[in-house]
Structure 1
């Protein structure tokens, strides 16, 4: 297949910029950037990279929160034909060095950050430990003063000030031609087992997943949506569904660097947000912030679509959001390795609570056993989800053995356990690695969490397995209490659970905590619980 610039994912931006240059593309703080602004700024980044010797296929890393620089640099890297390697902004220097070396990144853009989150300093320290990475660009907010460490590097020219570097670059650029199979993005998995692995996502993977918006939730370029972007853009959910999906159809992205429920609600009202996507804990946070000062009627009137993904949406959160906001949350499913969306609630139909919906167009799903054989097709059969289609990654970067374990005959095994009903709707049972085996019985934490959330004292719940000499594992529930339930004890919850579950299932151990540890994307970090 001949290389073609029109196959480059960056055309999601440039094509929309050509159609409506004056439309608002990004709103951040008190500033608005038009499509023409963003496209021109991305062209300057592309020209900068070419001037530094970056060639098509080279890897360029990016550490940035949800600020316009992320989108501008992301598309500038793609325009140059290079591969974007977005990094989690919480990485420490050692971890930055690992990711830069593992991806073989030749250049690195790092946002300066703040005293509380020194992204730039961590990035610089990681970069300086990586021989293969040659160029370090420090991205600073306007009028900010670099720290002493970074200022010294800038003064010596070892680090380059991003604003100065792009200032003299041309605002036009001829987008590099690519092949559908060329790698557009390398997304690193969370690394819950072993070192993080880089999922190689082709241009066609990223492009086709972003263009699935009309099928998934009725996106219409003639009536563009306004998206609240609070999901981290370095993660696949925010990157594809919000950033790329919005720009592909001429939408407006309202950026919020860090999720705070009150701030999110204020932005939704001020900017008339029509599409919100978040992980379940974000919806839990929004519900907790809906006080008398929030104009819920206007919020609901504007909000056309509410999307949940990243982890299973508790039924109680689904029910409460519909009751209090009047908007039904549509649940989707996917992984970094699937660009990410693989399944979604059927748009226009009442969703089945607890279901991740059906495979999106162009994607197939099935349930398999450990040996890759198909699970019998009946509603009670539990199997691991396998996925095949336009969204499945090329493989793990430079890890052929790991790729062979994960992909067979085009099918990617997800590690998620599910059931499928007679109508083809999938229901997540649990992560296979989260499954608890107590006394030889399989116990799925998701099932217990759903029921425990119905206890009046439970606001947020995580169920884990803890070592036990007699049963191998014992079941423990870690619970954040609702307000005004101080009288409820751990023993009360154990007794209540005993009435709800079979003898081998109910949690014998309960612990109340003020908060649960979470990833930067809002997923509960069960591995930090004990």
Structure 2
């Protein structure tokens, strides 16, 4: 594809194509440890860990895992919040050629069991507070061992359970040397609903993830090797946090300032104390900072951040403008775009100028994009016309784990079909017109209605159920369930919300429940989810109009 019109809009110093190191992710860490052993790799709870210390801990834990029988190709779950133990386990597994099964720590038993079974995971490394969920489903899975870690407290005492610190304390620092082919060998299974809403493991190779880190580096001229500080507040079990915080930081010998959760007061104090230079975030984070009652007191600290990136959900223009005003005109938030199937980043606005309103920016180096017609999916469209965004580049996944049919739908003729409806302007900037058909984007989380509907259909009172994302000024979308009860049954909103809390991660639980006698359907019986969303928007507009009178 020769007509890369976006290249004319690139920042000075950003090359359209770059050379990537032929390394595994474990090799990338070894390279940084050798180059910058004394650099601080991470700061967590006030404690500093140098790259030399980090590298040693990774080697010790890799040897401990090998002694438990972990070998190349094994799938091992990793379940916990942002913390040094998570990152040590991540790189140790990768060094052995094992495949990291990214496991959301908010998963409840049902979701956890599905993922472990689908991946064929033989072990899991989990924070101790989450262990009861693992224990509850272990018998349904192929899990042969569990390793627990904690921030404090006593080791978990249970059959088949090992303690993280004890294993490291007993290990030697010379793990087996495993030959890894970065181009072919899978590093991570990143679970996503993909373009169809069925949960699938995205196979990301070592090269996919190395490439995306170096594309991010190329996009950020002005950042210096060994001199940067990354605010790691995005969840690292999510591909966005894994790539833009963990892998990126290791690639440039940066210091990660790690926080296990987003609490706006703590984040502002952390920024003031440690002065990060790179802040990959999500719109909900920037909204919370903007709306903090004492945000102005932190203006000088916020203004020292070199680059703020926003992804995972559309960034409202007013949020970016308010943040720039808060930072006294010093910081523009650069909005980007990505998806798990692309490691994840494919587009970003240039960071040397304000983002173009409503745009996800320009394709990354070595990334080709085309808008295909919606009718056939084979006809490239000219600037300004709306179709499906299709991508190809070295960061695009190998495919979906054990799902060749789904892989064939997403990867066609060398292109990744994103399922997102988009357009491109004359300058090569891309715009998402509509999200994947049914997916709900709430506070940056991808929520697939089918996950919630399946839980609702298991309730004995439920005859029919459908879930939709309705507009929410703070979360972007919020989850609403529409339920038809069996004849003679009664139920309350509170009852069903409480029921869902026992079955689903907190961010998936419906915030609203509406009971109906019937659901709107097409002539062939398909529930009209979009009609329900349109009804909600009409109600909100009417309410807003009435309040203005």
- Residue in structure 1 matched with residue 137 of structure 2 by the alignment: 126
- Deviation of 1:478 after TM superposition, in Å, equals 7.3
Who is 1:502 aligned against? none
1:96-118, Cα deviation, whole Å (9 max, x unpaired): 121111111122111113xxxxx
Given that 2:37 and 2:50 are in contact with CA atoms closer than 8 Å, whether structure 1 keeps it comes out as: yes
1:69-148 matched pairs, under 5 angstroms? 69-113=85-129, 119-130=130-141, 132-142=142-152, 144-145=153-154
The offset of 1:495, in angstroms, is 5.7
* Residue number among 395, 403, 411 corresponding to 1:399 in the alignment: 403
For the Cα contact (< 8 Å) 2:36–2:226, is it kept in 1?
Answer: no
Q: Which has the higher contact order (CA 8 A, sep 6+)?
A: 2
Note closer, same or farther for the CA distance 1:461–1:274 as it changes in structure 2 (3 Å cut).
Answer: same
Q: Which residue of 1 aligns with 2:417?
A: 413
Are the equivalent residues in 1 in contact too, given 2:195–2:410 (CA < 8 A)?
A: no
- Equivalent of 2:383 in 356, 373, 378: 378
Distance 1:30 1:169, change over 3 A: same
SS in 2 for 1:176: coil
What is the distance in 2 between the residues matched to 1:271 and 1:401?
48
Of 207-216 and 406-415, the range deviating more from structure 2: 207-216
Change (3 A) 1:203 1:112: same
Match of 2:368 in 1: 364
Residue 215 of structure 1: how far off its partner (Å): 1.8
**Runs (5+) with no aligned partner, structure 2:** 1-20, 441-470, 483-518, 523-527
Q: CA deviation at 1:228?
A: 0.9
Provide the TM-score with structure 2 as the length reference.
0.76
- Structure-2 separation of matches of 1:234 and 1:463: 22
How far 1:191 sits from its partner (Å)? 7.0
Decide whether aligned partners of structure 1 residues 183 and 89 sit closer, same or farther in structure 2, where only a CA change above 3 A counts. same
The aligned counterpart of 1:22 is 38
Change (3 A) 1:271 1:67: same
Cα-to-partner distance string for 1:340-359 (whole Å, 9 max, x where unaligned) = 01111123243212111111
Distance 1:193 1:405, change over 3 A: closer
Shift of residue 290, structure 1, vs aligned partner = 5.1
Distance change in 2, residues 1:108/1:464 (3 Å): closer
Match of 2:88, SS state, is: helix
Q: Tell me if structure 1 keeps the 8 A contact 2:29–2:250.
A: yes
Alpha-carbon distance in structure 2 between the residues aligned to 1:310 and 1:75? 24
Quote the offset at 1:184 in angstroms.
0.7
Q: How far apart, in 2, do the equivalents of 1:222 and 1:394 lie?
A: 30
- 1:196 maps to 199
Q: 1: CA distance between counterparts of 2:190 and 2:58?
A: 20
1:334 pairs, out of 338, 343, 367, with: 338
Distance, in Å, in 2 between the alignment partners of 1:388 and 1:461 is 29
2:204 is paired with a residue of what secondary structure? strand
Residue 252 of structure 1: CA displacement? 0.6
SS at match of 2:72: coil
Structure 2 residue aligned with 1:319, among 312, 318, 321? Answer: 321
Q: Work out whether residues 8 and 176 of structure 1, in 8 Å CA contact, stay in contact via their aligned partners in 2.
A: no
SS at match of 2:208: helix
Deviation at 1:269, TM superposition (A): 1.0
Could you tell me the TM-score, scaled by structure 1's length?
0.79
Alpha-carbon distance, 1:222 to partner: 3.4
Is the CA contact 2:75–2:121 (under 8 Å) kept in the aligned structure 1? Answer: yes
Q: Confirm or deny: 8 A CA contact 2:332 2:353 kept in the other structure.
A: no
Aligned counterparts of 1:464 and 1:292: Cα–Cα separation in 2: 29
Q: Shift in Å at residue 332 of structure 1?
A: 1.0
| Structure 2 contact 195–419 (Cα < 8 Å) conserved | no
Quickly say closer, same or farther: Cα 1:292–1:94, change in 2 above 3 A: closer
Question: What is the rounded CA distance, in whole Å, between the counterparts of 2:535 and 2:297 in structure 1?
Answer: 36
Calculate the aligned-residue CA RMSD, in Å. Answer: 2.8
Gap change, CA 1:399 and 1:372, over 3 Å in 2: same
Other-structure match for 1:246: 249
Q: Does 1:34 align with 2:50?
A: yes
Cα distance in 2 for partners of 1:223, 1:47 equals 28
